[in-house]
């Protein structure tokens, strides 16, 4: 288990911790006009898509040859890979061709999340909230999916490559999970403040 690291790299990734607080501050006055049904459906999409992303990462690890035990059972993979594998290794061991595919996969992920947002809401503030909500549910379920299938990350202190565009974003797993959980809370509380005013 690694030691706690407070800051992500590059430095500006750390600014994402302010997103839920700024969003709530902006939304709290007039609340959010988003139905519970919209948030539920967006969360279902985010959770399902998060698991798909986790499966893609498992396949990518196997393709690169850094997923121990992948020719055995899923239990073998989980047992052998949880402590040996560090997700941050992927950058140094990934062939250039797969790295390019990975960058395009990440861009496609953002397009899919934005598409759901555009379908779910008509007003800019609601679209921002739905995007952040869907992104957060996708992000959390991605880590849950990885842990459920290959027992990675072994702890919230495991280093991870969060994103590759425009450069690699690296932090411990606790950071994106915290930002995502706070973001979902900001949406819920801003929506409730809007309901109280009606």
10 Å Cβ neighbour count for 86?
Answer: 16
The pLDDT mean for the chain works out to 85
Beta bridge partners of 161: 170
C-alpha 162/C-alpha 110 separation (Å) is: 13
Q: Tell me, yes or no, whether 24 lies in a domain.
A: no
Q: Tell me, yes or no, whether 181 lies in a domain.
A: yes
Q: Tell me, yes or no, whether 131 lies in a domain.
A: yes
Q: Tell me, yes or no, whether 20 lies in a domain.
A: no
The lowest-confidence range among 95-99, 136-140, 173-177, 185-189 is 95-99
pLDDT at residue 12 tops 90: yes
Range of the domain at 156: 34-193
Q: Tell me, yes or no, whether 198 lies in a domain.
A: no
- Give the global pTM: 0.85
Which two structure tokens, joined as six digits, stand for 64?
Answer: 């690169």
pLDDT digits (tens, 9 = 90+) for 45-88: 999 999 999 998 888 777 766 665 555 555 555 555 554 445 55
pLDDT at residue 40 tops 90: yes
Percent of the chain with pLDDT strictly greater than 90: 63
pLDDT of residue 198: 43
Q: Tell me, yes or no, whether 12 lies in a domain.
A: no
Q: Tell me, yes or no, whether 7 lies in a domain.
A: no
Count of domains observed in the chain: 1
């Amino acid at each position: 288990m690694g030691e706690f690291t407070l800051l992500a790299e590059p430095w500006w990734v750390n600014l994402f911790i302010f997103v839920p607080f700024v969003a709530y501050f902006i939304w709290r006055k007039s609340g959010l006009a988003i139905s519970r049904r919209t948030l539920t459906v967006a969360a279902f999409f985010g959770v399902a898509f998060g698991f798909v992303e986790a499966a893609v990462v498992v396949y990518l690890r196997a393709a690169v040859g850094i997923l121990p035990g992948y020719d055995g059972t899923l239990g073998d993979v989980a047992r052998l890979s949880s402590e040996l594998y560090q997700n941050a290794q992927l950058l140094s061991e990934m062939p250039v061709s797969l790295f390019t595919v990975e960058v395009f996969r990440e861009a496609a992920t953002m397009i899919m999340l934005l598409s759901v947002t555009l379908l779910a809401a008509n007003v800019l503030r609601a679209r921002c909230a739905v995007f952040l909500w869907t992104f957060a549910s996708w992000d959390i379920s991605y880590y849950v999916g990885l842990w459920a299938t290959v027992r990675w990350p072994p702890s919230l202190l495991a280093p991870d490559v969060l994103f590759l565009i425009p450069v690699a974003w690296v932090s411990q797993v606790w950071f994106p999970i915290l930002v995502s959980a706070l973001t979902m809370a900001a949406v819920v509380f801003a929506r409730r403040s809007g309901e109280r005013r009606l």
